[in-house]
Amino acid sequence: MLAINNIEVVYDRVILVLKGVSMDVGEGTITTLLGANGAGKTTTLKAISGVLRSERGEVTKGAVQLGDKRIDGMRAHDVTRMGLVQVFEGRRVFENLTTEENLIAGGHVQTAGAVKQGIDLVYSYFPRLKERSTQVSGYLSGGEQQMLAIGRALMSRPRVVLLDEPSLGLAPMLVEEIFGIVSRLVKQERLSVLLVEQNATMALAVADHGYVMENGRIVLEGPADKLRDNSDIKEFYLGLNEGGARKSYRDTKHYKRRKRWLS
């Protein structure tokens, strides 16, 4: 559905942030992109959705394909029109608009009739938003704002959704609820999701396929269940030791494991 082919991203014409990244997101699946802070995950998403331009970044090499159309170099609002939408890290709802107005703004590329249907659809997946429909969204709770950010993205009736750290700053219960809804959306609406997460345990539990990114490169990829069993992933992202038990602080102190992909 979404294919990223060896893209390079340069900021301010000098800073090379992505150094040849390739990924595939299959239709109706969740693909996750893991990595530490500053690895280039968010930049990857912004390169795909086209908002990179407003931050003085540029895709200098490679291609991004949505279905059979090339979308790299297109402007962000045109990319959304093509059926790909990004949900930003940190929720970023339109704070001065009400919940419902946020949804209407999210459906900007759709016809008036489709917006009405879209609102009903979003409320059916996120009933809590319906209760809050006339409230100014800046005052919603963090979980509700995250739901609104996802719901708002759905309003454009996308085929591909880029989800940037939906678990950020949310209670574990809420994280589980939101991931549950995302999984249902993928199955029932045949969405394709590219999920960026710090919470690797959660991400690998819902994803079908995963990539690991470090320093602007993909260093590891594979089906999510394989990645869960990979000893490097366990060590560095899941915080488990080889036996699968929770790692204790003493182990890290005495022995620092070397990442195998670095050699």
Partner 1 sequence: MSEDLEFAFALLLSGASIGLMYSLIALGFVLVYKATDAINFAQGEFVMLAGMIVVTVLGAEAPLIAAIVVVLLVMIGFGFGLEKVVLRPLLGRPVVAVIMATIGVAAVLRGLSPLVLGIETRALPLPIGDEPIAIGPASLPPIQVLGAVVAILFFIVFSWFFKKSRMGIAMRAVADNQQVAQAMGINVERYFAIAWAMAGIVSALGGVVWGAMLGVDVQLALVGLKVFPVVILGGLDSIGGALVGGLIIGIVESLAAGYLDPYVGGGTKDFAPYVLMILVLMIRPYGIFGRRQIERV
* CA 66 to chain CA mean position, Å: 16
What are phi and psi for residue 24, nearest 5 degrees? -130, 135
Nearer to partner 1, 109 or 170 (CB): 109
Nearer to partner 1, 169 or 180 (CB): 169
Q: What are the Cα distances from residue 195, in Å, to 31, 33, 142, 192, 259? A: 6, 6, 19, 10, 23
Which stretch in 10-18, 90-98, 223-231, 250-258 sits in contact with partner 1 by CB under 8 A?
A: 90-98
Question: For residue 92, which of 35, 64, 51, 134 has the smallest C-alpha distance?
Answer: 51
What are phi and psi for residue 11, nearest 5 degrees? -95, 140
When asked if residue 81 is in the footprint of partner 1 (CB under 8 A), the reply is: yes
Helix axis angle, 142-154 to 99-106, nearest 10°: 30
Which stretch in 1-9, 93-101, 183-191, 246-254 sits in contact with partner 1 by CB under 8 A?
A: 93-101
When asked if residue 139 is in the footprint of partner 1 (CB under 8 A), the reply is: yes
Contact by Cβ (8 Å): 71, 158: no
When asked if residue 261 is in the footprint of partner 1 (CB under 8 A), the reply is: no
Nearer to partner 1, 29 or 86 (CB): 86
When asked if residue 101 is in the footprint of partner 1 (CB under 8 A), the reply is: yes
Q: Output the smallest distance, CB 263 to partner 1, in A.
A: 39
When asked if residue 128 is in the footprint of partner 1 (CB under 8 A), the reply is: no
For 55, counting Cβ atoms within 10 Å of its Cβ (0-12 exposed, 13-18 middle, 19+ buried), the class is exposed
Amino acid identity, position 242: E
6, 16, 95, 116: residue in contact with partner 1 (rule CB under 8 A): 95
List residues near partner 1 by CB under 8 A: 49, 51, 54-55, 75-77, 80-81, 85-86, 88, 92, 94-97, 101-102, 104-106, 108-109, 112, 115, 136, 138-139, 142, 152-153, 155-156
